[in-house]
């Protein structure tokens, strides 16, 4: 009897943000109706707005919403969906959720639950590949890596270099893993210094065909979360690339895999490949493989779920592709996540933009701070690097602080352009990559744009006038600029004002004419890529904080206070005092000085806003 092939007509995406929007895009091209789920915090999010239907998940945190499999299955049935796509993160590698979808009579756009169980747990995957995590850690094993068994993305991951810190890092990793994936299991493995993170995209159908769609290099990482990825991985020998492809296919066949998956390796400096894990889902960096092989992996996932066979041989690779993840975070200050309004986001048409945000959207505290993925494809790696770095440099990003400048500098760094990078890239170069270099003429351009049209009669007088003054802050420094209204228009010392209006200022400096695009949102002013804050003419009195004060660097929840910490305790500079959870990551707050804890203003579970006073350490 010929099996009934399901025809998918409506897909619920059990996810949010960029990946939900990306899956919806393919569904629309295929003529498939789309259903979104959203938390209360995401009620007005882009993915909820663009879907054909949307179902509310009451609550705000992931554990209340996107990790509630029973609510998502109920939403799919209520909305009339006949299939569920999990995206990545959240429940994408949860075998019980896959079973619940299938038990509800829905099509699961992903691998069989048995394959998920075999590979989604990093510990069981290693056992399947003949490897075992460390059971007991000794000094001789250091450094080691603590990893979450149920997920990736840097959550629940810690490098431990001192044995005394192991217990604390295990506890923090378990808490992060539980919050992000609903599973607090972690394990420990050796940490390879100076290695490259290389992975292979696999795709398997229900008829026995398995494709290995080349390699990707994902070595540039912060907090073990990828920042820049590319395909193919540069600098690998043909023998090593072939070996990795064969190992990936072997891993997929070992668990009767179906759909899209990724097998990850750490390649040591001596060229030896170490199996890391198999991600039984679509990867964040899948667009670079799509660009190089000319495929739509989401469309292929849907085709496999409908029982259709793959071609005998995969398509051939063409050119090189690089992806950069644009985050709302401050790399110069411990990668602190940023929140607020994204006033404007626009990139040149020469690159691909995958995002879950549009102009005016709010960036909240509950989820990952990634704003977008920007992808460039070109005939050669050098062309792709140039195209992506140029597009990012000219992109319009108005809102909270982002890692855009870091991305541009990373792409142009000699280690990257010569393909000699490894996972320690940011450990070595972060300071130089995050040096603030605001344009020295940006404050003047902002002032001239602000001055445009302020005078009813053109602003000039027959008598010499005093210069107008404006003050701006940027990169932690204040700048005072002066200009005049004259018979010929606006003027400033040392430059020639060629043109000035509210949105564009053209200055001639030392014979070179330069354009400055200006945008203002309240007190926030953006001049090309320089962000400024307009200051009042006369400084306002401000609240003075006592020396040794700790303030919240971001909005978040106090998840833990150091054991035994009470007012009057003696602390050393650098001692951890409390932990904040924001955007699915825990952030350690340490003592700024050695002294006595004179105030402790928070308790576990308390929500705090940026700048809130957390504690005060009276210096010794």
Q: E strand or H helix at 173, and its extent?
A: helix 166-181
What is the C-alpha separation between 588 and 600, in angstroms, rounded?
15
Told to judge if 281 belongs to the known catalytic residues of this protein, a careful annotator would answer yes
Predicted pLDDT at 456: 41
> Structural domain of residue 83, as residue ranges?
10-109
Q: E strand or H helix at 180, and its extent?
A: helix 166-181
* Segments in the chain below pLDDT 50: 1, 456-463, 542
Whether 122 is in a domain gets the answer no
pTM for this entry: 0.84
Whether 427 is in a domain gets the answer yes
For residues 158 and 244, state if they share a domain. Answer: no
Q: Of 281, 470, 471, 520, which is the active-site residue?
A: 281
Whether 123 is in a domain gets the answer no
* Total count of residues recorded for the chain: 620
For residues 85 and 52, state if they share a domain. Answer: yes
Q: What one-character-per-residue DSSP string does 201-259 give? A: EEEE-TTS-EEEEEEEEEEEEETTEEEEEEESPTT--HHHHHHHHHHHHHHHHHTT--E
Predicted pLDDT at 457: 42
For residues 60 and 209, state if they share a domain. Answer: no
For residues 227 and 348, state if they share a domain. Answer: yes
393 vs 2, 135, 386, 389, CA distance in Å?
56, 47, 10, 6
Token digits of residue 240: 């090593």
Say which residues have a Cβ less than 8 Å from residue 363's Cβ, sequence separation at least 6: 328, 338, 339, 340, 341, 342, 357, 369, 371, 399, 400
For residues 247 and 348, state if they share a domain. Answer: yes
Number of structural domains the chain divides into: 5
For residues 424 and 446, state if they share a domain. Answer: no
For residues 457 and 558, state if they share a domain. Answer: no
Q: E strand or H helix at 616, and its extent?
A: strand 613-619
Predicted pLDDT at 458: 44
Q: E strand or H helix at 579, and its extent?
A: strand 576-582
For residues 479 and 586, state if they share a domain. Answer: no
Question: 3-state SS string over 33-87?
Answer: EEEEEEECCCCCCHHHHHCCEEEEECCCCCCCCCCCHHHHHHHHHHHCCCEEECC
Taking 3-state DSSP, the helix, strand and coil percentages for the chain, each rounded to the nearest 5, stand at 25, 35, 40
pLDDT digits (tens, 9 = 90+) for 347-374: 999 999 999 999 999 999 889 999 999 9
Predicted pLDDT at 502: 94
What is the C-alpha separation between 320 and 322, in angstroms, rounded?
7
Predicted pLDDT at 81: 98
Whether 120 is in a domain gets the answer no
pLDDT digits (tens, 9 = 90+) for 16-71: 999 999 999 999 999 999 999 999 999 999 999 999 999 999 999 999 999 999 99
Predicted pLDDT at 149: 75
Predicted pLDDT at 152: 64
For residues 448 and 477, state if they share a domain. Answer: yes
């Amino acid at each position: 009897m010929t099996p009934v092939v399901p025809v998918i007509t409506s897909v619920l995406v059990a996810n949010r943000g960029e990946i939900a929007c990306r899956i919806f895009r393919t569904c629309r091209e295929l003529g498939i109706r789309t259903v979104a789920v959203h938390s209360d915090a995401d009620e007005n999010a882009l993915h909820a707005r663009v879907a054909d239907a949307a179902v509310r998940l009451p609550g705000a945190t992931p554990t209340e919403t996107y990790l509630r499999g029973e609510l998502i299955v109920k939403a799919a049935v209520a909305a009339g969906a006949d299939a569920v796509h999990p995206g990545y993160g959240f429940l994408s590698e949860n075998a019980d959720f896959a079973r619940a979808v299938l038990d509800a009579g829905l099509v699961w756009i992903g691998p069989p639950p048995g394959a998920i169980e075999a590979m989604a747990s990093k510990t069981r995957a290693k056992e399947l590949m003949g490897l075992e995590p460390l059971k007991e850690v000794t000094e001789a094993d250091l450094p080691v890596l603590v990893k979450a068994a149920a997920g990736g993305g840097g959550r629940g991951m810690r490098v431990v270099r001192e044995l005394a810190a192991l217990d604390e890092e295990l506890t923090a990793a378990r808490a992060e893993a539980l919050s992000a994936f609903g599973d607090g299991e972690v394990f420990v493995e050796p940490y390879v210094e100076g290695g490259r993170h290389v992975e292979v995209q696999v795709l398997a159908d229900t008829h026995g065909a398995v494709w290995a769609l080349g390699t990707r290099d994902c070595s540039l990482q912060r907090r073990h979360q990828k920042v820049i990825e590319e395909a193919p991985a540069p600098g690998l020998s043909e023998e090593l690339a072939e070996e990795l492809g064969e190992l990936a296919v072997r891993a997929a066949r070992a668990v009767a895999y179906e759909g899209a998956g990724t097998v990850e390796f750490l390649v040591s400096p001596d060229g030896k490949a170490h199996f890391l894990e198999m991600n039984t889902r679509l990867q964040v960096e899948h667009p670079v493989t799509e660009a190089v092989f000319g495929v739509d992996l989401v469309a292929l996932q849907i085709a496999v779920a409908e029982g259709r066979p793959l071609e005998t041989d995969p398509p051939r690779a063409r050119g090189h592709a690089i992806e950069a993840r644009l985050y709302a975070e401050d790399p110069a200050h411990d990668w602190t996540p940023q929140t607020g309004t994204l006033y404007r986001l626009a990139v040149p048409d020469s690159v691909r933009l995958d995002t879950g945000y549009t102009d005016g959207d709010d960036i909240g505290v509950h989820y990952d701070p990634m704003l977008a993925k920007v992808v460039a494809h070109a005939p050669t790696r050098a062309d792709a690097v140039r195209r992506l770095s140029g597009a990012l440099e000219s992109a319009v990003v108005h809102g909270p602080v982002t890692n855009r400048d870091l991305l541009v500098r990373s792409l142009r760094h000699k280690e990257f352009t010569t393909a000699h990078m490894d996972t320690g890239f940011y450990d070595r170069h972060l300071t130089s990559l995050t040096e603030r270099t605001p344009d020295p003429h940006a404050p003047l351009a902002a002032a001239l744009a602000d001055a445009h049209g302020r005078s009813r009669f053109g602003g000039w007088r027959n008598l010499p006038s005093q210069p107008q003054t404006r003050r701006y802050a940027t990169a932690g420094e204040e700048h005072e600029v002066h200009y005049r209204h004259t018979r010929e228009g606006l003027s400033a010392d040392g430059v020639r004002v060629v043109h000035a209006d509210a949105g564009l200022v053209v200055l001639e400096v030392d014979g070179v004419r330069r354009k400055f695009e200006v945008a203002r949102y309240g007190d926030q002013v953006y001049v090309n890529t320089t962000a400024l804050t307009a200051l009042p003419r006369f400084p306002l009195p401000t609240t003075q904080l006592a020396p040794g004060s700790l303030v919240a660097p971001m909005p978040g929840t106090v998840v833990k206070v150091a054991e035994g910490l009470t007012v009057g305790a003696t602390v050393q500079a650098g001692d951890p005092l409390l932990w904040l959870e924001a955007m699915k990551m825990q952030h350690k707050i340490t003592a700024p000085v050695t002294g006595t804890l004179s105030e402790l203003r928070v308790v576990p579970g308390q929500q705090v806003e940026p700048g809130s006073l957390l504690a005060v350490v009276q210096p010794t």
